[in-house]
Every structure is written in C-alpha cells, then in structure tokens.
C-alpha cells in the first residue's frame, strides 16, 4: 500500500500524540524534533527518530507538521536542509496541522507545487487528548486530489474533517475558531461571575446555560473539564492562545474588517500577561477565584 510512510515533524504535546496514533493505525512513522526530550518521548512510544528534517522527509511519503508557528513551518519546508532544498526528493505531501498564517501557507504551497510536492493545511481542535485518541476535528484546505491522498492520515487522526476550501482556508477557519474560543472564555467567565454573585452555584449555572441558547464550546467543555474542576491541564497554553489571537488580529487587518470586539478581546489577552505566564494553561484566564 502506498503512502503508509509518514513523518511527524514537531513532537511536542500534539505532535507526539499524533505520531503515536498514526503508529497504532498501522503507519510506518518517523519523527523529528530538535528538542532532545521530545525525541525521548517519541522513542518511548516506539517512534523511529530522524536526525534532521531532511532525513524525515526522505523516510516518508507524507509529512505531518505540528509546529509552534509559521516561521518554524517555513524553516522546515523552505529553509536550509528543508524539503525544498532536497533536489532529489519529489512527490511528497505535507499536511500542516500548525495554527499558522494563511498567506504564508499559500506561498509555501505554491513553492512546493513548483518543486513537485503538495501541501494541505489541516489545523486541529481537540488538544493532546484528542490527538492521542484520534478524535480531533480537522479544518482542511487544499486541492481535492491532495485531500483525497491525505484522507487516510486525516481519518486516523480525527473524528470530524471539515473541508474549508482551497489551500490556506483551513488556517483561516482555525484562526476564526480560536478567536471565538478566546473571546468566549472571557464572556462566559464574566457571565458566570455575575450569576454566582447573584446567588447561583457555579456548576448549577453552567449546567443550565448548556441547556439553553447561551451555551458555547467553552461552557460545554472547558468550564466543566478544566475550570470548575480546577485542573487546568488542557495541554494548551496562554502563550499559544495569545499567539493565535495576534494572528487573528493580523488577519482582520489584512481583510480590512472593523472588529471592535476583537480589539477588546485582543487587549484583554495581551494584558493578561501581567498575571498569567505564557506557560500557564489557557483556561486560567477564565478562572473564577
């Protein structure tokens, strides 16, 4: 069977979990991450490790990227030792799950296509737990033929695949999604605080909200699982959400849209850095105490 050799580049919380899930699904997985401890985790899960991105691309037909930001994606694909520098390689399919910048994605996709490769952007929602269970939601952009080729990998990783349009569209949708999540954390937290101050128990209030029209993913999942429980261990950090909000603000500026609520949400997320370090769980911004 073709396209069963997969490289996962970026073995953090998400990448390592996706690599393990793909290995369980029967793919031959090679991993790469410059951080030694990330490599150790992958090795413990039975993932073969490559010494460089170039070696990872050489060992695979399909490469899944799970990296912090667009600059890292560009370095892996277009930088020294990246895929575009490997003149002897052709026909690779890159699935970029990074929450990245649509304009960068489109530019890299064009460069890859000129070199005989293809790119599908497939950012994800569901966190490390979803990656480990293969139940992510994936927001996919790309040419139909490339998505068809990527589908076995996407289906191994996800419970829901949303086809968003041409390459780059997946990253647009992910930024919109995370902007809403960031804003909802603020608005639901304010609403719950008001209800508690007026004498209603927080868990009772959230349960009632989730039966009504005011519910949101944040009230249905984040509040019960990580906020009201006090666990704050979602695996997604304040720093990552601040980055995603910045990218959404930049996208709004590119489109020329007036977004006053985005401006407020962005300011509150920036100001939260005074009290919440980048490494803290992103749900901390909605803590009730």
Q: Is 218 helix (H, G, I), strand (E, B) or coil?
A: helix
Tell me, yes or no, if 174 is annotated catalytic: yes
Strand 124-125 with 136-141, pairing: antiparallel
Residue 262 vs residues 91, 199, 248: alpha-carbon distances, Å: 40, 31, 9
Strand 93-96 with 124-125, pairing: unpaired
In angstroms, rounded to a whole number, what is the distance separating the alpha carbons of residues 246 and 230? 27
In angstroms, rounded to a whole number, what is the distance separating the alpha carbons of residues 205 and 195? 7
Catalytic residue among 41, 106, 174, 242: 174
Nearest to 175 by CA among 164, 161, 191: 164
In angstroms, rounded to a whole number, what is the distance separating the alpha carbons of residues 93 and 185? 36
Residue 169 vs residues 62, 145, 156, 242: alpha-carbon distances, Å: 20, 16, 21, 21
In angstroms, rounded to a whole number, what is the distance separating the alpha carbons of residues 9 and 67? 7
In angstroms, rounded to a whole number, what is the distance separating the alpha carbons of residues 191 and 176? 22
User: Tokens for 255?
Assistant: 């489109």
In angstroms, rounded to a whole number, what is the distance separating the alpha carbons of residues 108 and 94? 10
- Which residues are catalytic, by number? 174
């Amino acid at each position: 069977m073709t396209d069963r050799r997969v490289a996962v580049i970026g073995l953090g919380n998400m990448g390592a979990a996706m690599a393990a899930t793909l290995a369980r699904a029967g793919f031959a997985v090679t991993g790469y991450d410059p951080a030694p401890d990330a490599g150790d985790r992958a090795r413990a899960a039975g993932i073969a490790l490559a010494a460089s991105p170039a070696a990872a691309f050489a060992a695979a037909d399909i490469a899944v990227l799970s990296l912090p930001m667009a600059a890292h994606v560009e370095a892996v694909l277009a930088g020294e030792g990246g895929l575009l520098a490997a003149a002897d390689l052709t026909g690779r399919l890159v699935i970029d799950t990074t929450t990245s910048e649509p304009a960068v994605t489109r530019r890299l996709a064009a460069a890859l296509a000129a070199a005989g490769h293809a790119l599908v952007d497939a950012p994800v929602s569901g966190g490390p737990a979803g990656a480990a269970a293969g139940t992510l939601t994936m927001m996919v952009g790309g040419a139909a033929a490339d998505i068809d080729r990527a589908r076995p990998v996407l289906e191994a990783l996800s419970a829901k695949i949303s086809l968003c349009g041409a390459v780059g569209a997946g990253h647009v949708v992910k930024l919109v999604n995370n902007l809403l999540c960031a804003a909802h954390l603020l608005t639901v937290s304010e609403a719950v605080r008001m209800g508690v101050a007026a004498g209603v128990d927080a868990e009772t209030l959230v349960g009632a909200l989730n039966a009504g029209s005011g519910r949101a993913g944040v009230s249905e999942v984040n509040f019960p699982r990580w906020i009201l429980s006090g666990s704050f261990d979602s695996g997604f950090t304040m720093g990552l959400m601040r980055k995603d909000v910045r990218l959404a603000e930049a996208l709004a500026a590119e489109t020329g849209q007036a977004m006053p609520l985005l401006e407020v949400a962005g300011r509150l997320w920036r100001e939260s850095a005074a009290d919440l370090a980048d490494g803290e769980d992103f749900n901390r911004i909605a803590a009730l105490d």
